[in-house]
Structure 1
Amino acid sequence: MLTVDFARLPVGPGDRVLDLGCGGGRHAFEVLRRGADVVAFDMDVAELETVANMFAAMREAGEVPEGATGETVKGDALDMPFPDGSFDHVIAAEVLEHIPDDMAAMREIARVLRPGGTAAVTVPSFLPERICWALSEQYHTAPGGHIRIYTLAELKAKLKATGLVIGPHHHAHGLHSPYWWIKCAVGVDNGENPLAKAYHRLLVWDIMKRPAATRAAEAVLNPLIGKSVVLYVRKPK
């Protein structure tokens, strides 16, 4: 399930891409499939091991174009071990809402981007996230959880303050917001609730099959209740 629209963040052979806070690696895998060189960066060693294993499996299965590389690097988003201007593109998907000093992380994104490079930054959308917080204290107080709710205006202003040029934005995962509202209402850790289980099956079916009906429904829902907002920015030349 991709949050970033790669039509708006075109990556390909010869590009070097940082997936900042890569987690399970969903965006890193797509970057590698497109033939770019990707660095999956995270603090979680277990996640990075899983990503590295998937990189190897993709190569074994012939899913990696000739010349493309995927590597994992452990580190801190506030002090990344890369020289200035190391990357053509940076992806920071659902990361900044976890970081107390988000401005320091944004400055690091700007620093490691080459002049003229682009980044895709995604965070939870204000309204769906605000409803989650209202329904469940556990949702946002669990260790490693979300510590802030961004408005789009705040996200733009903070990234602009680092010197990045603000570009277009869109919302994603409109079908996922009701699922999280249900989870928050019945208990985030309650995996046995019938309604939550049924909605989860719907989401899995949608991800696997991509039927026209749910694709059309999500296109309508995204601007209204999209779970994530995606902002594209550029570093001036």
Structure 2
Amino acid sequence: MLTVDFDRLGVGPGSKVIDVGCGAGRHSFEAYRRGADVVAFDQDEPELANVASMFEAMASEGQVPDGAAARTVPGDALELPFADESFDCVIASEILEHIPEDDKAIWQLARVVRPGGTVAVTVPRWLPERVCWLLSDAYHEVEGGHVRIYRESELLGKLVAAGLRPVGREHAHALHSPYWWLKCAVGVDREDHPLPKAYHRMLVWDMMRAPLVTRTAERLLNPLLGKSLVLYLVKREATVVAR
């Protein structure tokens, strides 16, 4: 399940891409399929081991074009271990809401992308996220959980201050918002509750089959209920000074 539109980012053969806070690797895998030179970056080393195994499997099964490359790098988003202007594209999907020093992380994202390069940042959208917080403290009051709810204007201001120019926006995953509301309402740890279980089965079916009815419904509902805010930006030509 991709949150980012790779066509808008211009990712293709030879593109140098870093997926910061890659998690299970969904965006890294797509960039690799498109022939990019990919760095999957995260502080969770066991998860990175799984991502590395999937990279190997993709290569052995012929899922990637010749010339594509992929590797995993562990580390902290506040101190990216890469030179300035190292990448053509930077992806930071659903990570900034976890980071107390988000300004510092944003400046790191801007530092490592080349002038004219593209950046995609996604965070939970204000309204769906606010409903989750109101329904359940356990949803966000956990170690490594969400530390803030962004308003779009606030996040854009931080990104622009770091030397990035917005070029597009969208909302994604409207069908996922009711699932999380159900989870929060019945208890986020209640894996056996029939309502979220049934809804989750529908989401899995949707992801596996991509039927016209649910794809159309989500496209129509995204402007109202999209769970994620997706921002597309370009690095301005002026040099960004790291903080």
Q: What is the CA–CA distance in structure 2 between the aligned matches of 1:91 and 1:129, rounded to whole Å?
A: 21
SS in 1 for 2:8: coil
Query: Does the alignment pair 1:42 with 2:42?
Result: yes
| Residue of structure 2 in register with 1:153 after alignment | 153
Aligned to 1:28: 28
Rounded Cα–Cα distance in structure 2 between residues aligned with 1:104 and 1:142? 22
Aligned to 2:122: 122
- Distance in 2, Cα, partners of 1:130 & 1:167: 26
What corresponds to 1:136 in structure 2? 136
Deviation at 1:183, TM superposition (A): 0.2
Q: Counterpart amino acid of 1:3?
A: T
In structure 2, stretches of 5+ residues that fail to align are 238-243
2-side partners of 1:116 and 1:144: how far apart?
33
Letter matched to residue 60 of structure 1:
S
* Structure 1 residue 71: Cα displacement: 0.2
Residue 107 of structure 2 is aligned to residue 107 of structure 1:
yes
For 2:70 and 2:7, locate their aligned partners in 1 and report how far apart those are by CA, in whole Å: 21
Output the TM-score relative to the length of structure 2: 0.97
Q: Displacement of 1:6 after TM fit?
A: 1.3
- TM-score, scaled to structure 1: 0.99
Partner deviation per Cα, 1:128-151 (whole Å, 9 max, x = no partner) = 000000000000101111000001
Q: Which amino acid aligns with 1:19?
A: D
Q: Could you give the per-residue CA deviations for residues 11-41 of structure 1, whole angstroms, max 9, x where no partner exists?
A: 0111100000000000000000000010000
Write out aligned runs for 1:184-223 (5 A): 184-223=184-223
Alignment deviations for residues 190-228 of structure 1 (CA, whole Å, 9 cap, x no partner):
101101100000000000000000001001110101000
Please provide the CA RMSD for this pair. 0.5
Count of residue pairs the alignment pairs up: 237
Unaligned 5+ segments in structure 1 are: none
- Structure 1 runs of 4+ with >4 Å offset: none
**What residue number does 1:52 align with?**
52
Q: Which amino acid aligns with 1:202?
A: M
